[in-house]
A and B are shown apart, each in its own frame.
Chain A
Amino acid sequence: MDHVSIISLASIFAAGLTMAIGSIAPALGEARAVAQALSAIAQQPDESATITRTLFVGLAMIESTAIYCFVVTMILIFANPFWNAVAPIAAG
């Protein structure tokens, strides 16, 4: 296998795996956060504004990890420096 094939294979594989595995843990974390927020609202309905606001801030912080994985995937697919370096060779 030549360099061009290895780079493209590794990039595609890594992009798919990054997004797939990287979105498992944030989803589970957000599910736990929302579940706790719901039970807190059920216990103290008067504080639901504060609880909702804190929930959204917490969800944004948890979501950040998934966003990092997404950014890496996008870079691997669309702005890949290794592919850009060998693309002239691939074009022939």
Chain B
Amino acid sequence: MTISPDQIVWHWGAVWLNATIVYTWVVMALLSVGAWLITRRLSSDTNLSTWQNLLEVVVTGICDQIQDISHQEPQRYLPFIGTLFIFIATANLMNILPGYIAPTGSLSTTTALAICVFVAVPLFGIGLGGTAAYLRKYIKPTPLMLPFNIIGELSRTVALAVRLYGNIMSGTVIVAILLTLAPYVFPVLMQMLGLLTGMIQAYIFAVLATVYIASATTVHGGDLSSGTNETSQHGHP
């Protein structure tokens, strides 16, 4: 039995595709075409179509969460964090469709997403506060912490990748094993649990990405975007 969609390969002549790539394209097509169809005719009064209402709920929900976690204006991070959440959530939810293999069940996809977060954190940090301020964070409590901060950055990237991969892969493997052992009721229950953990893992991935980016774009006593040295009240209102 395969434990990764990377191992399911099709080829036509010189073109080799594996299941991860094909199903990633399926998710991308679904999201792009769906978003284009819904946003073709947007209305700004109270007479909305259902789908526009759904998109507004999702987008404002993500904005509120980013605002809560980072205490900064969410529009800056919305494209990146929103894409992470919506892509991973859709890829995991479509697991109940027969014949579909979740691309997030492959270590390649989750490593790619984790590397995106790993690159985005210094990009946002340097873009907002400058290189010096961002690099100063690595020696923040004391310069002795420099190797530990670097190792921490690398290990949390690995943890992001393996957490998502492990959760989704375990869901599919459990269902496959139960199908051979107790075919009628238990695979359905495990599929339901797989839906729940898929959504939770999508949320966790996006929230952790937001937390990492927020920790790189704030300094103690004010965020880098303000450019002043005031000590702001950093806490809940």
Contacts and interface: CB of A to CB of B under 8 A. Distances in A.
Contacts of B204: 56-57, 60
Tell me what chain B mostly uses at the interface: helix, strand, loop, or mixed: helix
Nearest to A53: B207
Q: How big is the A interface, by class? A: 10 to 19
Contact of A79 (B3, B166, B200, B201): B3
Contacts of B65: 53
Contacts of A79: 3
A57 B201 CA distance: 10
B162 interface: yes
Contacts of A50: 68, 236
Interface stretch (A5-13, A31-39, A67-75, A82-90): A67-75
Contacts of B203: 56
A67 B166 contact: yes
A50 B68 CA distance: 8
Interface of A: 47, 50, 53, 56-57, 60-61, 63-64, 67-68, 70-71, 74, 78-79
Given A67-B163, A71-B162, 13 more contacts: A57-B204, A57-B207, A60-B163, A60-B204, A60-B208, A64-B163, A67-B162, A67-B166, A67-B170, A68-B162, A68-B166, A71-B166, A79-B3
Sorted from nearest, which 9 A-B pairs have the closest CB atoms?
A67-B166, A60-B204, A64-B163, A78-B3, A71-B166, A64-B159, A57-B207, A74-B3, A70-B170
